[in-house]
Amino acid sequence: PLRSVLPPEITSRKGGVPLVVLTAYTTPVARLVDPHCDIALVGDSVGMVLHGLPSTIGVTLEMMILHGRAVVRGLSRAMAVIDMPFGSYEESPQQAFRNASRLMAETGAPSVKLEGGVHMAETIAFLTARGVPVMAHVGLTPQSINTLGGYKVVGRDADAARVMADAKACEAAGAFSLVLEKVPVGLSGDITRAVRIPTIGIGAGPDCDGQVLVVDDMLGLFTDFRPKFVKRYAELGSLADEAIATYAAEVRARTFPAAEHGFADKVKS
């Protein structure tokens, strides 16, 4: 079904009330995110958060399609964006179109996201001209962890000009919005003022046109590591730990199940 929010409307919100974005990977979480957020991002972070992978490198197109479908089923107003996984778009604009069109056709999401700036501009233009709205992602790009050498801030000192050029190249290529990850606060403000598309920050300070967090991080469900930019709005991980510990103790003590959880042998007459 046609979603109420489509990429051009997101672009038109540049400079207005900040765009609210969270990741979602499943139908129930999409239902929680939908009433409060403008965009539900099916991030390739799903590989680390739900599948226990050490990085996003091992995430496949099939995983993104399955999680994308689940999320789209749970949305009625927020817009879905699906990450193109590592290896599914870097080779050529044609390869990117082939896989982006599968992501859109097989999930119903109206847009995709890919990592890259200047070197991906040709691909962003190719996709956009052919009906695939692209959210670009610059600064720290986790799919390049092995060439970057770590999850460090990107865009300090001499690197600032390169990140600015990446942002401008994505805008010129037709990206409908732009994620800035782990970019210093001053630079992300400069980029936000320099481009006409909305910037959506994660660890990029308050001057962006929107903010995104990984939902399991902000709920305290994913605690393997905790980047400085994550604010925990709940501690669902410790709540779950307490609940599971209580269940285990009650099973061992035979206090669960109680009478009300069982079924009588005879139907009452």
Residues that bind ligand KIV (CB under 6 A): 23, 41, 43-45, 83, 137, 179, 202, 212, 214
Q: How far is the CB of 95 from ligand KIV (least distance, A)?
A: 20
Q: How far is the CB of 141 from Na ion (least distance, A)?
A: 8
Number of residues that bind Na ion (CB under 5 A): 3
Active-site entry in 181, 235, 242, 260: 181
Distances (CA, A) of 68 to 23, 198, 228: 11, 23, 28
Nearest residue (CB) to ligand KIV, 10 versus 212: 212
Nearest residue (CB) to ligand KIV, 226 versus 256: 226
Nearest residue (CB) to Na ion, 140 versus 190: 140
Query: Which residue from 38, 83, 171, 217 is in contact with Na ion, where contact means CB under 5 A?
Result: 83
184 binds, among Na ion, ligand KIV, none (CB under 5 to 8 A by kind): none
202 binds, among ligand KIV, Na ion, none (CB under 5 to 8 A by kind): ligand KIV
Q: Are 199 and 178 in contact (CB under 8 A)?
A: yes
Q: Is 199 helix (H, G, I), strand (E, B) or coil?
A: strand
- DSSP bridge partners of 180: 138, 201
Q: How far is the CB of 73 from Na ion (least distance, A)?
A: 21
Q: What is the DSSP letter of 198?
A: P
214 binds, among ligand KIV, Na ion, none (CB under 5 to 8 A by kind): ligand KIV
Nearest residue (CB) to ligand KIV, 137 versus 168: 137
Residue 44 labeled ligand binder: yes
End-to-end CA distance of the chain: 50
Contacts of 173 (CB under 8 A, 6+ apart): 120, 121, 122, 124, 125, 128, 134, 136
Interaction residues for Na ion, span 24-63 (CB under 5 A): 43-44
DSSP 44-105: TTHHHHTT--SSSTT--HHHHHHHHHHHHHT-SSSEEEEEPPTTSSSS-HHHHHHHHHHHHH
Q: How far is the CB of 212 from ligand KIV (least distance, A)?
A: 5
181 classed as catalytic: yes
Q: How far apart are CA 32 and CA 46, in angstroms?
A: 17
Q: How far is the CB of 262 from ligand KIV (least distance, A)?
A: 43
For residue 264 the two structure tokens come to: 């009588």
Nearest residue (CB) to ligand KIV, 184 versus 210: 210
Rg (CA), the chain: 21
Residue 83 labeled ligand binder: yes
Residues flagged as binding site for Mg(2+): 44, 83, 115
**Active site positions, annotated:** 181
Query: Which spans of this chain sit near Na ion (rule: CB under 5 A)?
Result: 43-44, 83
Residues flagged as binding site: 44-45, 83, 113, 115
